[in-house]
Amino acid sequence: MESLRTAADAPRERILAAAATLFYRHGINATGIGELVEVAGVSKRTLYQQFASKDDLVAAYLQRATQSGRLLDRRLEQPELTPRERLLALFDPPPPTFRGCPLHNASVELTEPGHPGRAVIVAYKRRFQERVTEQARAAGARDPEALGRRLSVLFEGATALATSLDDRDAAFDHARPLARAVIEEALPTDG
């Protein structure tokens, strides 16, 4: 889809790019429409032509985030690594701009039960666990589902604790030895 971008798409893309920066850096509820249109360089009218409401923009921002390749989960697809190395790579130190998982952060902020962003978050987190399980299976895990569940909740802990402690490295340093032990125990020694 990205390669088919046309001039008519540009305002929508600019709005989503502004949302990706402002929602992640400052939070969703702390970011007003006025700030979004200023950073995107569009009018409010244009924004509401593209998105029926802020809620719809938030859902589109979340959907885009899951496809952006900027999440740490891209480590699960690094072609130069073995499946075992990909599972370990999840727990490598995050980049300096890291401020937790944008999907999780949104789940903290979007407290209305019917918010259209909530389904995007839940689907993403379930799919993430499946992807970890797929790598666990490819690595030869005896019980790939169990390893997928364990590494998913541990990864959520590392990313959330990075925000709580305001210290990326400490959180991932806490999680890494346990992740390594869990992976070693679950995989055949020649894996």
Given the rule CB under 8 A, which residues bind its own copies? 25-27, 29-30, 99-101, 103-105, 107-109, 111, 118, 121-122, 125-126, 146, 149-150, 152-161, 163-167, 171, 174-175, 177-178, 182
Least Å distance between CB 1 and its own copies?
Answer: 26
Phi-psi region of 140 (alpha: psi -120 to 50; beta: other; left: phi over 0): left
Q: Which is nearer to its own copies, 52 or 122 (CB)?
A: 122
Q: Which is nearer to its own copies, 3 or 189 (CB)?
A: 189
In angstroms and rounded to an integer, the radius of gyration of the C-alpha atoms of the chain is 18
Least Å distance between CB 27 and its own copies?
Answer: 5
Q: Which is nearer to its own copies, 27 or 140 (CB)?
A: 27
Helices (DSSP H) in 41-143: which residue ranges?
44-50, 54-67, 83-89, 102-109, 116-138
Least Å distance between CB 73 and its own copies?
Answer: 13
Closest of 42, 59, 35, 170 to residue 110, by C-alpha: 59
Least Å distance between CB 84 and its own copies?
Answer: 18
Least Å distance between CB 3 and its own copies?
Answer: 32
Q: Are 55 and 117 in contact (CB under 8 A)?
A: yes
Q: What is the DSSP letter of 81?
A: S
Q: Which is nearer to its own copies, 13 or 109 (CB)?
A: 109
Give 87: exposed, middle or buried? Use CB within 10 Å, 0-12, 13-18, 19+: buried
3-state secondary structure of 71: coil
Q: Which is nearer to its own copies, 35 or 43 (CB)?
A: 35
